[in-house]
């Protein structure tokens, strides 16, 4: 891992694809060397050793906590261990200085050539810079948006959609084999309400005798068209027919309206998702899971291990429902897997609870090869997490893992004022309306500017403002500025090949300004940031990283106004210009790469 001697400005830089991983390997190698020399005991666990940029840049380029973490297992004083390690690290060519500080930190200052090597590496990697094999091709299934197909998506759905979609992209980026999935909740009472609502609109379309507004009626106008369409398809065929005749329930109008409504709603939902740039490849129907008998499979497997029994649950303490009656039910021993109570699988009428098919569905996902499953749910499902995780652990006998990300509410505002929404009053804001107003890229980016489990304010006015206050604009502006420089360079310096691979061969050692080096260090963090964001299931980290990167670039840009020797384009010095274009190109590349993970189109110019 140690590289050949290198002096700034002379040697051809080596490519460094993941600089901080490389630096950690370097530290670990020296620790092993110390162990071979008998200074340290053999076989120390270096998992907790961190090599990262210090918060205060005055401390140097990189810092490691190795001495403090290993002091106790090694039976040494942290400072002594630090001195020994720093002595070795300081002898490495790429390290210009290794100093022990504070309780035992080792601060390293690196030769500028190291950062130039990083820059060359990222340019050669191009769009692949940041990609890694952390996942080693392991399968992960990401399920998101999953909803009843009863109406259009609203803003809340958009958050889950984007978080799920970007988690999937992140996991792909770090080497997982990803399946994006949607679970269609098409088996419950909501679908019956949908069917009755469709039938109502159908009769309306046929000018038939008006029937009373059905229970749970979906009042939205979108069903009027569905009623019309059913009339066009089937004519008056369902008018004199029963809802669900006893001898053959599926011959009635309800079955027809359920299926017709379901298809229409799913088409609408998929169109909305497409408008948001979300494309899941697998859609699994709850109803199909039930009909395929997967629930029985799941239950048999649990039954065989004594995890199913008939029992009576106590009412929740302090909040007994009005109509509470103790009833014996089929229960799953969720408490054996960390849940608070055992969970019912059947309703009193004998039909399945929501939990039963969902359990079966997760078994199905596991059978399709996903040991790691990620579900993105809304805040109102928080209380459901433990039981589903318990079910996955039980059904997969501990081989599967379910990670659930809960998305808090989105508060829709306009110029600081809450947008009043009411389904009944018809002032409900759909996802489609928001996309039409501000654009899908803005929706996607803004949804990632908060941790998923924190509430999010979405101000329709603010998100299209052109100011530093608006992260979408600010990041896009940095990218546009990079592209602008490159456009000007193409005119003024036709001799400079702007292909990233060619720019990687520019005399990068000419980049010596502290802000230029700072920008390179920041770019060098990108691969590590992606891995961290994926491992923590936190796509919002990418948004904050891009914002910081944009700020660093804007700063360097403006610095060139006062100090003309820092301008990117230097008529008097084509070599220096080429080196700076390499840096600008790399900034554009990383921003574009981050936006690609987000599913956001980088802009070439601000308009």
- Restricting to residues 445-474, name those near RNA by CB under 7 A: 450-451, 453-457, 466-469, 473-474
Distance CA 181, CA 326 (A): 38
* β-strand partners of 372: 140, 401
Site string for RNA, 47-66 (x = CB under 7 A): xx-x-xxxxx-xx---x-x-
Footprint (CB under 7 A) of RNA, residues 165-184: none
Closest distance of CB 337 from RNA, Å: 13
Nearest to 447 by CA among 160, 152, 169, 146: 160
Options 45-53, 199-207, 221-229, 432-440: segment touching RNA (CB under 7 A):
45-53
**Do the beta carbons of residue 588 and residue 479 sit within 8 Å?**
yes
Q: Which is nearer to RNA, 12 or 605 (CB)?
A: 605
The answer to whether residue 555 forms part of the interface with RNA (CB under 7 A) is yes
> What is d(CA 420, CA 409) in angstroms, rounded to the nearest whole number?
14
Nearer to RNA, 435 or 534 (CB): 534
Binding positions for RNA, 71-110, rule CB under 7 A = 71-72, 78, 101-105, 107
- Candidates 116, 203, 386, 444: give the one binding RNA (CB under 7 A): 386
Q: CB nearer to RNA: give 59 or 505.
A: 59
Q: What is the CA radius of gyration of the chain?
A: 30
- Write out the DSSP string of 271-330: HHHHHTT---SEEEEHHHHHHTTHHHHHHHHHHHTT-EEEEEPPPPTT---TT----EEE
Least distance to RNA from the beta carbon of 344, Å? 4
Kindly tell me which residue out of 417, 424, 561, 571 binds RNA, with binding defined by CB under 7 A. 561
Residues 96, 190, 335, 371: which binds RNA (CB under 7 A)?
A: 190
Number of residues that bind RNA (CB under 7 A): 112
Binding track over 389-428 against RNA, x by CB under 7 A: -----------------x-xx-------------------
Distances in Å between the alpha carbon of 583 and those of 13, 33, 109, 469? 14, 36, 21, 26
Please answer whether residues 403 and 536 qualify as being in contact, where contact means their C-beta atoms are separated by less than 8 angstroms.
Answer: no
The distance of closest approach from Cβ of residue 232 to RNA in the complex, given in angstroms and rounded to an integer, is 29
Task: Kindly tell me which residue out of 354, 367, 418, 426 binds RNA, with binding defined by CB under 7 A.
Answer: 354
| Minimum distance, C-beta of residue 33 to RNA, in the bound complex (Å) | 21
- Residues of span 494-513 touching RNA by CB under 7 A: none
Q: Which positions from 269 through 288 interact with RNA, judged by CB under 7 A?
A: 286
| Of residues 246, 400, 253, the one with CA closest to residue 337 | 400
Q: Which two tokens stand for residue 338?
A: 């960390």
In whole angstroms, give the CA distance from residue 327 to residue 11: 80
Binding to RNA (CB under 7 A): which residues in 310-349? 312-313, 315-319, 321, 323-327, 329, 340-341, 344, 347-349
Q: Does 214 bind RNA (CB under 7 A)?
A: no
Give the contact letters, 123-162, x = binds to RNA (CB under 7 A), - = no. ------------------------xx--------------
Member of 244, 288, 509, 551 binding RNA (CB under 7 A): 551
Site for RNA in 563-582 (CB under 7 A): 564, 566-569
> Is there binding between residue 262 and RNA (CB under 7 A)?
no
Question: Minimal distance in Å, beta carbon 105 to RNA?
Answer: 3
We find the least distance from the C-beta atom of residue 378 to RNA, in angstroms, to be 8
Could you say which of 180, 405, 540, 585 contacts RNA (CB under 7 A)?
Answer: 540
Answer yes or no whether residue 68 interacts with RNA by CB under 7 A.
Answer: yes
Residue 137 — φ and ψ, nearest 5°?
75, 10
Contact region with RNA (CB under 7 A), list: 156-164, 362-370, 500-508, 551-559: 551-559
Instruction: Give the residue with the Cβ less far from RNA, 220 or 532.
Output: 532
514 contributes a contact to RNA by CB under 7 A? no
Residue 479 CB, shortest distance to RNA, in Å, is 10
Judged by CB, which is closer to RNA: 11, or 17? 17
Residue 380 CA: distances (Å) to CA of 363, 377, 383, 453:
23, 8, 7, 12
* Nearest-approach distance from CB 513 to RNA, in angstroms: 12
Tokens of residue 73, six digits: 């297992």
List the one residue out of 405, 404, 434 whose CA is nearest residue 419. Answer: 434
Cα distances from 251 to residues 128, 192, 238, 452, in angstroms, run: 55, 15, 10, 45
- Whole-Å CA distances, 75 to 40, 70, 84, 592: 9, 8, 14, 48
Tell the smallest beta-carbon distance from residue 457 to RNA (Å). 5
Q: Which is nearer to RNA, 221 or 349 (CB)?
A: 349
> For residues 409 and 429, which CB has a smaller minimum distance to RNA in the complex?
409
Site for RNA in 230-249 (CB under 7 A): none
Identify which of residues 207 and 424 has a Cβ nearer to RNA in the complex: 424
3 state DSSP class of 63: strand
Cβ at position 194, least distance to RNA in Å: 11
Q: Could you tell me which of 40, 66, 33, 69 has the C-alpha nearest to residue 51? A: 66
Q: Which is nearer to RNA, 325 or 417 (CB)?
A: 325
- The neighbouring-strand residues paired with 84 are none
Are 489 and 573 within 8 A, CB to CB?
Answer: no
For position 535 contacting RNA by CB under 7 A, the verdict is: yes
> H helices then E strands: how many in the chain?
20, 15
Contact indicator for 70, 107 with CB cutoff of 8 Å? no
H or E segment and range at residue 51: strand 51-52
From 488, 490, 499, 575, residue interacting with RNA (rule: CB under 7 A): 488
Give residues 17-36 in contact with RNA (rule: CB under 7 A).
none
Query: Quick one: 5 or 216, whose CB is closer to RNA?
Result: 216
3-state helix, strand, coil in the chain (%, to 5): 50, 15, 35
Query: Is the Cβ of residue 8 or residue 74 nearer to RNA in the bound state?
Result: 74
| Dihedral over Cα of 423, 426, 428, 432: its sign | positive
- Does position 1 interact with RNA (CB under 7 A)? The reply is no
| Alpha-carbon distances of 535 from 24, 159, 481, rounded to whole Å | 18, 20, 32
Helix/strand/coil for 105: strand
Q: Report the residue from 307, 435, 480, 530 that binds RNA according to the rule CB under 7 A.
A: 480
């Amino acid at each position: 891992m140690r590289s050949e001697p290198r002096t700034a400005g002379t040697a051809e830089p080596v490519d460094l694809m993941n600089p901080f991983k490389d630096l950690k390997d370097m530290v670990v190698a020296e620790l092993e060397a110390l162990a071979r020399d008998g200074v340290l005991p053999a076989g120390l666990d270096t998992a907790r050793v961190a090599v990262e940029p210090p918060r205060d840049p005055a401390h140097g380029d990189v810092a490691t906590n190795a001495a403090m973490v290993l002091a106790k297992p090694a039976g040494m004083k942290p400072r002594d261990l630090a001195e020994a390690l720093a002595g070795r690290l300081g002898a490495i060519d790429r390290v210009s200085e290794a100093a022990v500080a504070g309780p035992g930190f080792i601060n390293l200052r690196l030769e500028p050539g190291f950062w130039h090597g990083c820059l060359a590496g990222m340019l050669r990697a191009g769009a692949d810079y940041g990609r890694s094999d952390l996942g080693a091709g392991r399968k992960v299934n990401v399920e998101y948006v999953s909803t009843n197909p009863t109406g259009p998506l609203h803003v809340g759905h958009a958050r889950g959609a984007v978080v799920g979609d970007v988690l999937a992209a992140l996991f792909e980026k770090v080497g997982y084999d990803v399946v994006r999935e949607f679970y269609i909740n098409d088996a419950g009472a909501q679908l019956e309400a949908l069917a009755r609502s469709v039938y109502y609109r159908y009769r309306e379309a046929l000018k038939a005798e008006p029937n009373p507004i059905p229970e749970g009626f979906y009042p939205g106008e979108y069903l009027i068209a569905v009623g019309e369409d059913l009339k066009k398809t089937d004519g008056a065929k369902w008018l004199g027919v029963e809802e669900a005749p006893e001898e053959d329930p599926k011959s009635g109008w309800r079955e027809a309206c359920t299926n017709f409504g379901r298809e229409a709603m799913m088409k609408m939902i998929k169109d909305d998702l497409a408008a948001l740039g979300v494309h899941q490849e697998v859609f699994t129907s709850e109803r199909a899971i039930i009909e395929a008998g997967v629930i029985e499979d799941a239950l048999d497997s649990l039954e065989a291990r004594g995890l199913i029994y008939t029992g009576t649950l106590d009412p929740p303490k302090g909040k007994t429902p009005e109509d509470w009656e103790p009833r014996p039910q089929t229960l799953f021993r969720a408490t054996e897997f960390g849940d608070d109570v055992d969970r019912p699988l059947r309703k009193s009428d004998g039909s399945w609870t929501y939990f039963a098919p969902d359990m079966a569905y997760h078994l199905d996902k596991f059978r399709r090869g996903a040991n790691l499953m990620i579900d993105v749910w809304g805040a109102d499902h928080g209380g459901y997490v433990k039981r589903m995780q318990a079910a996955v652990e039980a059904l997969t006998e501990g081989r599967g893992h379910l990670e659930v990300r809960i998305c808090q509410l989105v508060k829709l505002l306009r110029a600081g004022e809450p947008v009043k929404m009411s389904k009944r009053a018809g002032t409900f804001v759909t996802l489609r309306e928001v996309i039409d107003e501000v654009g899908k890229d803005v929706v996607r980016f803004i949804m990632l500017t908060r941790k998923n489990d924190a509430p999010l304010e979405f101000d329709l006015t603010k998100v299209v403002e052109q100011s530093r206050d608006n992260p979408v604009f600010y990041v896009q502006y940095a990218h546009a500025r990079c592209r602008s420089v490159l456009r000007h360079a193409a005119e003024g310096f036709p001799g400079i090949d702007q292909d990233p691979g060619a720019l990687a061969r520019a005399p990068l050692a000419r980049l010596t300004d502290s802000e230029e080096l700072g920008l390179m260090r920041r770019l060098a963090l990108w691969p590590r940031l992606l891995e961290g964001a994926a491992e923590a299931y936190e796509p919002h980290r990418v948004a904050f990283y891009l914002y910081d990167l944009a700020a660093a670039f804007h700063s360097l840009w403006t610095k060139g106004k006062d100090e003309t020797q820092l301008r990117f384009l230097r008529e008097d010095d084509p070599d220096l210009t080429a080196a700076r274009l390499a840096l600008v190109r790399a900034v554009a590349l990383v921003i574009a790469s981050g936006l690609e993970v987000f599913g956001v189109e980088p802009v070439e110019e601000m308009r």
